[in-house]
Amino acid sequence: MIQFEKLPYPLLIAGHIILTIFMIAAPFLIPLFFYASIIYFGLRVLIQKDSGQEALLACAYLVTLEVFLRMNQALIFYEFMKYLVIVFMMIGIIMRGFSLKSIPYVFYLLLLIPSIIVAAGNIPLGESLRKAVAFNLSGPVTLGITAIYCYQRSITSTRLDQILKFCVGPIVMITTYLFLVTPDIRDVVTNTASNFATSGGYGPNQVATVLGIGMFITFVRFLRIKNLMINISDIVLFLAMTYRAWVTFSRGGVYTAFLMIIAVIGTLFLLKRSEFKVSFIPKLAVIALGLIMAWGFTSLVTNGLIDKRYANEDAAGRAKDDLSTGRTELISIELEAFFENPIAGIGAGQVKYYRAKKDGIIAASHNETSRLLSEHGAIGIFSLLVLIFTPLFFRLFHRGNIYFYAFLIFWIATINHSAMRIAAPAFFYGMALLYVRSVKIKKKISTVNSTDNALLA
């Protein structure tokens, strides 16, 4: 079968842009493309028996495609992508096994069960227990299964870079779609609130989160690859994605992207020789200049409202009292629920009903950490400790994954501003647990060329 991830980078990008244009002209192509992708990846995983981490490749591509599909109502149901990730990960586990050292994540999954039992006794009359539990636990279960698949799974650095390169395709589709379909920025940006019109009609938080992933990947590729044409492609994509993320007026995904970038720069500085560090400087200068120009343009088209948004001001220039845009109130109610039910919590999916009783407003949580406390109680604390300390302990003995801290930051930052509404934080948490090994080639010249070509291929 064709291995699309090995196509030349410019061809991969151009192909996704052309696909997006056709999909805009004929929207019925979007679900067809999605179903074709599932069939393609399913066949690859089954035929090759996941010998080349095909399950991981499939999930990486589909996870970054999820927001584009949601924008266009192409998913069968809201949480479908998480279930799809679980299916692909389970197939990979069945075919290639898993590390027995991933037992902490089996324990983590078992810790989710008590919240289902508690929810069964607390669910309001007329509400569906299945829907409440499925909506709130699909993310944590996706994380647990992905972590079991990824924990200490051996993968070459070249293969990991191919998978990340492949992720750029769906994010290019989102970026292209936003440029071609959304209204003129000047017409729809009238205040400093998150903007659905500039986000393709879908949640600005989720759109900015996925664009942030694209910002991170294109930045790292620009920094590491020595090829002028590829560098130009990546800096253009980086700035385009950054601009579109800014004009969503959702800050969480943007802040997270820059934290990931700082993490990977720090990791590369510590791991690489001094000449490699010096080679960063001109590229970092180019990126800094590009960002300054992009910010100036964004400020111009938003009539300065983007400056006020990031200064936490309203359209009139007055400082906002709540930097978290209402999230603090939600967190305080969730903590109140925890203190009232400290052992097992109030049950999976129950916090929105708890808030409805308190202030008459039904609202889902934006913060996975506080949700774990309110709905799972002390058991949620144990779950969180497993999720934090297991990868940190793993890192003590396996330092080959230069993206480890970036992936972990993406997970913890995203779940604290956007919960687990999309599959991405669960999936990229798992990516931090991969055992990444370098490909050793005897000849020095061959090593340099092979590394560069692998990143481009």
Give pLDDT tens digits along the chain (457 positions).
Answer: 789 999 999 999 999 999 999 999 999 999 999 999 999 999 999 999 999 999 999 999 999 999 999 999 999 988 999 999 999 999 999 999 999 999 999 999 999 999 888 888 777 656 676 777 778 899 999 999 999 999 999 999 999 999 999 999 999 999 999 999 999 999 999 999 999 999 999 999 999 999 999 999 999 999 999 999 999 999 999 999 999 999 999 999 999 999 999 999 999 888 776 767 788 899 999 999 999 999 999 999 999 999 999 998 888 788 876 555 566 777 888 888 888 888 988 888 788 778 777 776 666 667 888 888 888 999 999 999 999 999 999 999 998 999 999 999 999 999 998 888 899 999 999 999 999 998 765 444 444 444 444 444 5
- CA quadruple 273, 274, 275, 276: dihedral sign: positive
Q: What is the distance between the alpha carbons of residues 353 and 336, in angstroms, rounded to a whole number?
A: 13
The b/e string for 346-366 (b: 16+ C-beta within 10 A; e otherwise) is: bbbbbbbbbbeeeeeeeeebb
Instruction: Check: CB of residue 122 under 8 Å from CB of residue 346.
Output: yes
Rg (CA), the chain: 22
Contact 239, 197 (CB under 8 A): no
Q: Domain ranges for the chain, please list them.
A: 1-97+153-178
What's the confidence (pLDDT) of residue 273? 66
Tell which residue, 405, 321, 413, has the closest CA to residue 367: 413
CB atoms within 10 A of CB 450: 15
DSSP 8-state class, residue 251: -
Residue 436 host element (H or E): strand 435-437
**Helix residue spans in 152-310 (DSSP H):** 157-181, 185-188, 204-224, 228-246, 252-271, 274-301, 305-310
Are the beta carbons of 273 and 219 closer than 8 angstroms? no
Cβ distance 443 to 232 under 8 Å? Answer: no
Q: At 260, which amino acid appears?
A: M
What 8-state DSSP symbol labels residue 73?
T
Q: Which of 425, 423, 398 is nearest to 411 (CA)?
A: 425
Place of tokens 């679980």: 86
